[in-house]
Amino acid sequence: MLKITFQKKVLCVACVVAFAILVGVSCASKSVKSYPMEVISSEFIYSNDNHAPIYTMRDFTEDEIMPSDKYPGFYFVCGEVLVIAYEHVDYGQMTTLVSEHGGRVVGFLEAANTYQLHFTDVATEAELIDLVQLFNDHAFVIIASLNRVSELEIYIPTRIMEAVSGLCPAHNPRYQPSPTPAPIRPDAARDRGMIIPNDTRWEYEWYQWFTGGPADGSNWGMEAINAPSAWYLLFDEYMNLHEHVEYVNVGVIDTHFAPNHEDLEITLFQNSMPISEVPCGRNLYPTTRSIRQGTMVAGIIGAGFNNGYGIAGGAPNSIMYGYSLHGAYAPRHTSTFRRKHALATLFANDVRLINSSMGNSNNPIPSIHSQALTFNINNHSILLRERNMLTVFLRKYLDQGVCFLIVESAGNASNRNGHRSVHVGYTTVFGNIRDPEIRNRIIVVGGMRGWIGHAFLTCSVDNEPFDPPRFHMLIGMGSTQVGRNVNGSLAIDIYAPGYRITSTSTPLVRLEDINLDAVSTYYHEASGNVMAAPHVTSVAAMIWGVRPDLSGVQVREYILQNPRHDVYISRRVFDDIQVSPILCAFQSVYAAINSNEL
């Protein structure tokens, strides 16, 4: 049985106390009811040269969330300003500068020279904006901004979405599953150039697809991207990874994670459970809804492979790390600085492949469809400032030689304000980045439903011949379809299975009613772009496993340039036909192995 391993603080007590005194904070335990101002969350990791990269953070409470008057629909942490300083500016210089203006440093990400500042006596938005301008004008500072608060989007429905006839195999009257499914013998699979794992929950699920039928069943996502053929490239005849295949650290930035699951081994950061009851839609926190999402996303990538029980993760060579964006004191919100802290934590642990399935569900969306479809970040100064700060932050790591790839879901906010389709600029965090050096290390993923057969139809648009580079392809004959409420976003790099995906999970009960120390044996299915992104992350992990010499840009290109050849996603948005490729694990991994250059 797999057990979770927790990241341990290895810095001596004396060093911790010394640093706490330096930043003027108290590391003493706090009363939950008092909602203290000093909620410091820190992780210290020794590097090989015995220098401890510092990444500390001050958490915020629900009471500190301040609505914006100047920018309706946006929220900020009261009294906080974020600053990224130039390389020649040290910590002491910044603390002196901040103290001169009545503030202090309460969070510090050393590698990116990024600071979280708190000003106790600053209570209004106007005063905060003046401080931001003051720091932006200072010679020490590259960029400064408010610490924006975003409501975390948790899209794990308590009931399965209503299936539309013809879109999902189980609800298609023309499709009848075989009455006599059987396990696939390992030798038979290898003869066909495939690896079929022995995980018991999927033991009988491979039969239809293996014998020429459609991708179906609870493992249909892995079948749809042809993962078994990609796995074949990683394993020898004894089901051991080839010697040339390396393990890859994979980080998941999401909600909470189940600390113990029978089929998931993962190192966790900031996974403290909520300690206050906060209404959130139809649910009342704390429930295991937030624990379920993070656990499911991680399981799609890194569930135990060929271990005789549970399901199989898409990346057999993955070593999993999880970071919870949920704070203990503001359980349904996160902040700009917390997202940076997540990246800093994972980078410090040599994680270069990161899955982010958390969207922004409280970004203001215009009430007019055309405005939602023609998103221009220059019209949203807050998002523009946040994008620029995130770009500077990531470039700091890039300039230090950190190799990374971020896979982000397109978000599930397409039905808000009556929109069927919303530009990803409103629903993503990393998808807004326009710096090509950074954007080429980001993949935005949309979700799709299952298909009911192998038949497909290519045809012309406006009497013009079929031309894939011009996106002239329609899907017909019951082939791949896009779920109406699985995805409505545009500007998506690639699509992957996102409907009725089965993964490791927890029961959906009140948090007080679950024993988190007990080992979870739950598996559930859920739908949304949240479930699609980890399929792409799994393929990226396999590519990096067989080609560790590749950059994040190259891994991305192998995925985007080697999609399925037989089917594409096509959907009409008003008068515009949007066509996107579908992920193919085998093509992507095979191309990486057999090509020295893109």
> Are the CB atoms for 196 and 189 separated by under 8 Å?
yes
Rounded to 5 degrees, what angle do the CA atoms 345, 347, 352 make? 135
Kindly state the tokens that stand for 124: 């209004």
Domain presence at residue 356: yes
Domain end among 123, 150, 177 = 150
Q: To the nearest whole percent, how much of the chain has pLDDT over 70? A: 65
Q: pLDDT digits over 147-198, tens only?
A: 998 876 555 443 332 222 223 344 333 344 455 677 888 888 898 899 999 9
* Residue 290 belongs to some domain of the structure: yes
Give the residue from 563, 420, 555 showing the smallest Cα distance to 480: 563
Centre a 10 Å sphere on the Cβ of residue 579 and count the other Cβ atoms it contains: 16
Q: Which of 128, 150, 172 is the last residue of a domain?
A: 150
Beta bridge mates, 409: 445
Domain boundary among 120, 150, 180: 150
In a domain, 231, yes or no: no
Instruction: Give tens-digit pLDDT for 6-16.
Output: 343 333 433 43
Helix or strand (DSSP H, E) at 290: helix 289-302
How far is Cα of residue 349 from the mean position of the Cα atoms in its chain? 17
Which pLDDT score is estimated for 181? 72
Looking up tokens 């020490």 gives 140
SS (H, E, C) 20-32: HHHHCCCCCCCCC
CA pair distance 253, 243, nearest whole angstrom: 30
Q: What is the DSSP letter of 582?
A: B
Check whether 93 has a pLDDT greater than 90: yes
Whole-number Å distance between alpha carbons of 6 and 372? 42
How far is the CA of 198 from the CAs of 32, 201, 264, 308, 430, in angstroms? 46, 9, 16, 5, 37
List the one residue out of 99, 88, 81 whose CA is nearest residue 22: 99
- Residue 2 corresponds to which amino acid? L
Helix (H, G, I), strand (E, B) or coil at 585: helix
Closest CA to 294 of 329, 255, 327: 255
> What does the pLDDT average to over 92-111?
95
Greatest mean pLDDT among 211-225, 247-261, 286-300: 247-261
pLDDT confidence of residue 277 = 42
CA gap 512, 127 in Å, rounded: 41
Q: Which residue has the tokens 């999902």?
A: 168
For residues 558 and 389, what is the distance between their CA atoms, to the nearest angstrom? 28
- Do residues 134 and 245 share a domain? no
Residue 315: inside a domain: yes
Are 276 and 402 within one domain?
yes
CA distance 494 to 438: 17
Instruction: Examine the domain organization and report whether 136 and 252 are in the same domain.
Output: no
Give dist(CA 38, CA 41) in Å, integer. Answer: 9
Instruction: State the pLDDT at residue 255.
Output: 84
Lowest-pLDDT choice from 56-60, 242-246, 364-368: 364-368
Residue 476 has pLDDT above 50, yes or no: no
DSSP 179: S
Q: Which position has the higher pLDDT, 401 or 293?
A: 401
Output DSSP code: residue 477: T
Question: For 302-320, what is each residue's pLDDT tens digit?
Answer: 999 999 999 999 999 999 9
Shared-domain flag, residues 336 and 469: yes
> Do 258 and 117 sit in the same domain of this protein?
no
Mean pLDDT of the region 230-243: 94
Contact at 8 Å (CB) between 337 and 391?
A: no
Residue with tokens 């791949």: 480
Judged against a pLDDT cut of 70, whether residue 543 lies above it is answered with yes
Q: How confident is the model at residue 326 (pLDDT cuts 50, 70, 90)?
A: confident
Q: Is residue 369 pLDDT above 60, yes or no?
A: no
Residues 400 and 53: their CA atoms lie apart, in Å, by: 14
**The pLDDT of residue 64 is above 50:** yes
Element (H, E) at 55: strand 54-58
Distance of alpha carbon 155 from its chain centroid, rounded? 13
Q: For the stretch 548-566, what's the b/e string if a residue is b when 16 or more beta carbons lie within 10 angstroms of its beta carbon? A: eebebbbbbbbbeebbbee
The residue-averaged pLDDT of 113-132 equals 94
Pairing of strands 422-423, 489-490: parallel
Residue 88 forms part of a structural domain: yes
158 phi, psi to nearest 5 deg: -75, -15
Boundaries of domain holding 455:
239-593
* Band of residue 338 on the pLDDT scale cut at 50, 70, 90: very high
Mean confidence (pLDDT) of the chain: 74
Half-sphere exposure of 96 (CA within 13 A, CB side): 6
d(C-alpha 124, C-alpha 27), whole Å: 28
The closest of 529, 578, 586 to 559, measured between CA atoms, is: 586
Query: Both 133 and 273 in a single domain?
Result: no
The rounded distance, in Å, linking the Cα atoms of 532 and 416 is: 20
Average pLDDT over residues 465-470: 29
pLDDT range class, residue 111, cuts 50, 70, 90: very high
What is the 3-state secondary structure of 326-377?
A: CCCCCCCEEEHHHHHHHHHHHHHCCCCEEEECCCECCCCCCCCHHHHHCCCH
99, containing H or E segment: helix 91-100
Measured distance CA(413)–CA(165) in Å, rounded: 23
Residue-level pLDDT at 258 = 85
pLDDT at 14: 38
Q: For the segment 513-531, what is each residue's pLDDT rounded down to a tens digit?
A: 667 677 888 898 888 788 9
Structure tokens at 115: 């600071």
C-beta of residue 312 within 8 angstroms of C-beta of residue 306: yes
> Distance (Å, rounded) from C-alpha 85 to C-alpha 136?
10
pLDDT tens for each residue of 383-432: 788 889 999 999 999 999 999 999 998 876 544 444 445 566 667 888 88
The CATH number that applies at residue 449 is 3.40.50.200
Q: Please give the pLDDT value at position 303.
A: 97
Write out the DSSP string of 122-185: --SHHHHHHHHHHHHTSTTEEEEEEEEEEEB-----SSPPPPPTTTSGGG-TT----SS--PPP
Residues 526 and 425 reside in one and the same domain: yes
Residue with tokens 């490729």: 581
Q: Is the peptide bond before 286 cis (omega within 30 degrees of 0)?
A: yes
What letter does residue 448 receive in the DSSP assignment?
E
244 and 145 part of one domain: no
In tens, the pLDDT along 545-578 reads 999 999 999 999 999 999 986 666 655 544 455 5
Cβ atoms < 10 Å from Cβ of 189: 19
Taking the C-alpha atoms of residue 448 and residue 97, their distance in angstroms, rounded to an integer, is 51
Residue 76 within any structural domain of the chain:
yes
**Cα separation, 17 vs 11, whole angstroms:** 10
Whether residue 313 sits in one domain with residue 444 = yes
CA distance 413 to 424: 9
User: Rounded to the nearest 10 degrees, what angle do helices 13-23 and 91-100 cross at?
Assistant: 40
Edge-to-edge strand list for the sheet holding 266-269: 5-6, 266-269, 318-324, 248-254, 353-356, 405-409, 442-448, 494-497
Is 84 a domain residue?
A: yes
Inform me whether the pLDDT recorded for 216 exceeds 50: yes
Residue 473 lies in a domain: yes
Report pLDDT for 419. 44
**Phi-psi map region of 29: left, alpha, beta (phi>0 left; psi -120 to 50 alpha):** beta
Structural domain count, the chain: 2
